[in-house]
Amino acid sequence: MTLLELLIVLSIMAIVAAMVMPMLGGGVSSSELRSAARQVASALRMARSEALSTRKETRLVFDLEQHAFQLEREAHSHALPKQAELKLFTAQSDIASEKIGAIRFFPDGGSNGGRLTIAAGERKYEIDVDWLTGRVAILD
């Protein structure tokens, strides 16, 4: 092979790679997915702490369509990755619509329980809330 042939093959491979890479990208990175799961778990723990300290029920409301969540008494919401798939499993009484639901914490530290799944392709994180203790755990 001559140097010229080698350069032509390499340039063709670079052009093909440049065209294919944007098609494969655009998803949610593993670190972004893990960060979102930790952010939700942290907010759930904060909601539990608030319920214990104020002696009032506290809800963390999830908007699955907008990919966001917020504490019931807060003004602003927190965004989750738009490309991630979200699923919420919670008590029927805390489901406002098909796309809006909440996990409720009681003044004794307990909860109505539930699970939020954040997924992107094969990767997923499940954030579980124990109904008896209100304990929050992240499962891979």
Check which CATH number belongs to the domain holding 96 and give it: 3.55.40.10
pLDDT at 122: 85
- In this prediction the pTM is 0.80
Identify whether 19 is part of a domain.
Answer: no
pLDDT at 121: 82
Identify whether 1 is part of a domain.
Answer: no
Identify whether 4 is part of a domain.
Answer: no
Identify whether 36 is part of a domain.
Answer: yes
Tens of pLDDT, residue by residue over 29-55, are: 888 899 999 999 999 999 999 999 999
- Domain extent, residue 92, equals 30-139
pLDDT > 70 fraction of the chain, expressed in percent and rounded: 95
Whole-angstrom distance, CA of residue 45 vs CA of residue 4 = 63
Identify whether 17 is part of a domain.
Answer: no
- Mean pLDDT for all residues in the chain: 91
Across 56-83, average pLDDT = 93
Tens of pLDDT, residue by residue over 108-127, are: 999 999 999 999 888 899 99
pLDDT at 92: 93
pLDDT at 66: 94
Q: What long-range pairs does 30-33 form, CB within 8 A, spacing at least 24?
A: 30/123, 32/81, 33/81, 33/84, 33/118, 33/119, 33/120, 33/123, 33/124, 33/125
Identify whether 101 is part of a domain.
Answer: yes
Tell me how many domains the chain contains. 1
Tens of pLDDT, residue by residue over 14-34, are: 999 888 876 665 677 888 899
Across 89-117, average pLDDT = 94
Identify whether 92 is part of a domain.
Answer: yes
Whole-angstrom distance, CA of residue 75 vs CA of residue 61 = 12
